[in-house]
């Protein structure tokens, strides 16, 4: 499979918007400035609930509740049969430099996986280290530069056009939960005009230009290729805003059927109360019906309310969304503390954070 992914015209109108849409208000702000009001609210909630790390028990069976330092496989291992059926096939490979090609091939086959596959760190963040690998040799090369004795998740490649982040919450005293946010994620891409090559199209696309500036990312595309008129050229495996992706609020697509489907999956994971399901889907109609989607990964208490990054969202609304998320997180943590779960210490939380940041610095580049 070539590193450049070419899509059909299904998303041509969105692709035009992706190329020319201005940055969201949060994208235009420096990170430290966004953190100031969130930190102040966090401190206020910590005083109110008498714990600065209370959200670490929002999902008691997950490391730090999913605030930081948890592995993707922790969520998968907690799944019952219903949730497993809705999740992309995967396997775990603890990186051992002594693996032979034959041994790797055996593990891939035993999981029912075929190439191309996605390789990504079990302990990851914002798409760092996530790569599309085309064959067993590329997987071996990936492992060769991956931190030794750390776990890699190898997952089936989901080729459906749609991707959504579905934010879910359930109070521990309630039987059912709700979808509290839905975001549609669009990958960095350009649209051909039959005249300019890929490199020239990228230069005219402010969002796609982030590929050149993104840290720990490798741009794999033949820049001299000239796409046909209207041809959509996807430029990256990941859809993070750090490489030029676009997040759009999709709350209008939340339906009773989708809510019931996600709630059923979440309740098939013991003690899971708060987090975001990142899914791939074929079309929005099927997604609204709660059908034909696959879970790529799950994020817990540390999940960003990424719908706030929609360029059409005002600064006031963006912070209102994020503030509401933090209030709910503390409320769920409080309910679980009343059941006997104990939040981790600030020292433990800091240790998890620094370990995760250190690993990210040593991951192979995403693509």
As a whole number, the mean pLDDT across the chain is: 91
Cross-strand pairs, 249: 183
Same domain, 20 and 98: no
pLDDT band at 18 (very low <50, low <70, confident <90, very high): low
Length in residues, the chain: 367
Q: Report how many domains make up the chain.
A: 2
Same domain, 226 and 297: yes
For 214-235, what is each residue's pLDDT tens digit? 888 888 778 889 999 999 998 9
Same domain, 135 and 238: no
Same domain, 272 and 284: yes
Same domain, 104 and 165: no
Domain boundary among 157, 179, 208: 157
Same domain, 231 and 310: yes
Question: Would 310 be classed as within a structural domain?
Answer: yes
Q: What average pLDDT score do residues 197-212 get?
A: 87
- What proportion of the chain, given as a percentage, has pLDDT over 90? 77
At 11 the pLDDT is 44
**116 in Cβ contact with 133 (< 8 Å):** yes
In 3D space, the residue among 171, 180, 175, 177 whose CA is nearest the CA of residue 338 turns out to be 171
Q: In terms of residue numbers, what domain contains 262?
A: 1-30+78-87+159-317
At 13 the pLDDT is 45
Same domain, 229 and 278: yes
Same domain, 262 and 128: no
Whether pLDDT at 9 is above 70:
no
Same domain, 148 and 185: no
Question: Would 322 be classed as within a structural domain?
Answer: no
Question: Would 73 be classed as within a structural domain?
Answer: no
Question: Would 264 be classed as within a structural domain?
Answer: yes
Distance CA(278)–CA(296), nearest Å, equals 6
At 304 the pLDDT is 87
Where is average pLDDT lowest: 12-26, 44-58, 287-301, 310-324? 12-26
Distance CA(113)–CA(106), nearest Å, equals 10
Distance CA(236)–CA(245), nearest Å, equals 9
pLDDT band at 213 (very low <50, low <70, confident <90, very high): confident
For 95-138, what is each residue's pLDDT tens digit? 987 788 999 999 999 999 999 999 999 999 989 999 999 999 99
At 64 the pLDDT is 97
Same domain, 134 and 152: yes
Same domain, 95 and 112: yes
Question: Would 67 be classed as within a structural domain?
Answer: no
């Amino acid at each position: 499979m070539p590193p450049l992914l070419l899509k059909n015209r299904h998303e041509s109108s969105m692709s035009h918007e992706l190329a020319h849409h201005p940055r969201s208000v949060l994208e235009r702000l420096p990170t430290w400035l966004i953190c100031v009001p969130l930190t102040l609210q966090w401190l206020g909630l910590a005083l109110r609930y008498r714990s600065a790390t209370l959200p670490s028990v929002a999902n008691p069976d997950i490391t730090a509740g999913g605030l930081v330092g948890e592995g993707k496989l922790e969520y998968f291992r907690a799944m019952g049969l219903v949730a497993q059926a809705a999740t992309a096939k995967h396997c775990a490979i603890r990186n051992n430099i002594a693996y032979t090609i034959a041994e790797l091939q055996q593990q891939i086959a035993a999981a029912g996986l075929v190439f191309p596959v996605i390789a990504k760190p079990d302990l990851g963040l914002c798409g760092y280290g996530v790569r599309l690998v085309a064959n067993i040799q590329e997987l071996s090369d990936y492992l060769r530069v991956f931190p030794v004795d750390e776990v890699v998740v190898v997952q089936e490649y989901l080729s459906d056009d749609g991707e959504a982040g579905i934010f879910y919450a359930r109070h521990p005293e309630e039987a059912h939960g709700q979808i509290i946010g839905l975001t549609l994620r669009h990958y960095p891409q350009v649209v051909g005009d039959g005249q300019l090559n890929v490199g020239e199209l990228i230069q005219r696309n402010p969002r796609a230009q982030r590929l050149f500036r993104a840290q720990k990312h490798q741009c794999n595309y033949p820049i001299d290729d000239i796409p046909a008129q209207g041809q959509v050229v996807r430029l990256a495996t990941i859809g993070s805003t750090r490489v030029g992706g676009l997040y759009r609020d999709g709350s209008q697509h939340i339906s009773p059927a989708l809510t019931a489907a996600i709630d059923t999956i979440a309740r098939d994971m013991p003690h899971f109360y708060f987090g975001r399901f990142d899914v791939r889907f074929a079309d929005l109609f099927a997604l609204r019906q709660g059908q034909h989607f696959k879970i790529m990964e799950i994020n817990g208490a540390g999940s960003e309310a990424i719908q706030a990054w929609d360029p059409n969202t005002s600064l006031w609304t963006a912070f209102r969304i994020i503030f509401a998320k933090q209030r709910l997180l503390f409320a769920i943590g409080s309910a679980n503390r009343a059941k006997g779960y104990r939040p981790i210490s600030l020292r433990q939380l800091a240790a998890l954070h620094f370990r995760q940041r250190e690993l990210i610095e040593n991951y192979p580049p995403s693509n």
